[in-house]
Chain A
Amino acid sequence: DGGITQSPKYLFRKEGQNVTLSCEQNLNHDAMYWYRQDPGQGLRLIYYSQIVNDFQKGDIAEGYSVSREKKESFPLTVTSAQKNPTAFYLCASSGGGTYNEQFFGPGTRLTVL
C-alpha cells in the first residue's frame, strides 16, 4: 500500500540533545512537508521541499534542520537550539498540481524531559 510512514510514534529525549524524526513516502510525490502541532492548536509549517536536494523554511524553522537527499525521505532534526521542542510533529507529501493537496503520516509525539 502507498503511504507515508513516520517513526517512531513516541520519542523521549533529554534537554540539550539533538533528535531526528523520520519520514518516508512511497507515493512518488515530489513535495514533502514538516508541521508542528501544539495542544489545541492548528498546524504550523516548519520546512518544505519541492524537489530533491532543495528545501525552504516555513513559518517556524528556527531550531530545526532538514535534508532531502532522496525523493522518498525527508528527515527532520530538532536541534538543541529549539527552545520548546515538545510537540506533535506531522509529515506530509503532495503530488503537486494547482491546489497542493497533502497527505499525512501518522505523526511523532516528541517529549523533551
Chain B
Amino acid sequence: AQKITQTQPGMFVQEKEAVTLDCTYDTSDPSYGLFWYKQPSSGEMIFLIYQGSYDQQNATEGRYSLNFQKARKSANLVISASQLGDSAMYFCAIGGYQKVTFGIGTKLQVIP
C-alpha cells in the first residue's frame, strides 16, 4: 500500500521568495517514483517534477527542486523566486506498479 501525507493545508509566500511544500510518504514497493503536480484554479493537473527512488541526486526543473530524503521518507518541493502565477494547489504523489497515490494537496498563495 502507498500513502502520501501533506500536512500544510495552506501556505503564503512573498513574491520572489523561496517556499518549501512538505510531503512524506509510505510504501512497501522497493522501487517507486515521487511526483509533484500543480493545479491552478482552471483545474488541470500540471506535471512539475519527478524523482526516482534510486536516483542519487535531487531532481531539479527550472525553479522547482525536489528535496528527497529517502531515510526520512520525505519528498519536499522547493519553489525558488516565487511568482504570482505560482498560486495554485500543489499535490505530491507516489507511483509504483500500476497505481499512483495522491496527497490531499497544499494551497499556495503568492503575495505581491
- Chain A CB within 8 A of B57 CB: no
Interface size classification for chain A: 20 to 34
Give A44-82 interface residues, CB cut-off 8 Å to B: 45, 48, 50, 56, 58
- Chain A residues, CB < 8 A from B95: 99-102
- Chain A residues, CB < 8 A from B111: none
CB-defined interface of B63-102 with A at 8 Å, one 1/0 digit per residue? 0000000000000000000000000000100011111101
Residue of A nearest to B9 (CB): A40
CB distance from A39 to the nearest CB of B (A): 11
- Chain B residues, CB < 8 A from A102: 35, 47, 95, 100
Q: How far is the CA of A105 from the CA of B44 in the complex (A)?
A: 7
Number of residue pairs spanning A and B whose beta carbons lie under 8 angstroms apart: 65
- Chain B CB within 8 A of A90 CB: yes
The one of B46, B50, B104 that contacts A99, using a Cβ cutoff of 8 Å: B50
Q: Are A42 and B91 touching (Cβ within 8 A)?
A: yes
**Tally of chain B residues near chain A (CB < 8 A):** 24
- Chain B CB within 8 A of A84 CB: no
**Interface of B with A (CB < 8 Å)?**
31-33, 35, 37, 42-47, 50, 52, 91, 95-100, 102-105
Q: Which 10 A-B pairs have the closest CB atoms?
A: A99-B33, A104-B45, A100-B95, A42-B104, A43-B102, A107-B43, A42-B102, A99-B95, A106-B44, A100-B100
Query: Beyond the given A41-B104, A99-B33, could you list 13 further A-B residue pairs with CB under 8 A, ordered by the A residue number?
Result: A43-B45, A43-B91, A45-B99, A56-B98, A88-B43, A90-B45, A99-B32, A101-B33, A102-B95, A102-B100, A104-B47, A106-B42, A109-B43
**Interface of A with B (CB < 8 Å)?**
31, 33, 35, 40-43, 45, 48, 50, 56, 58, 88, 90, 92, 94, 98-107, 109
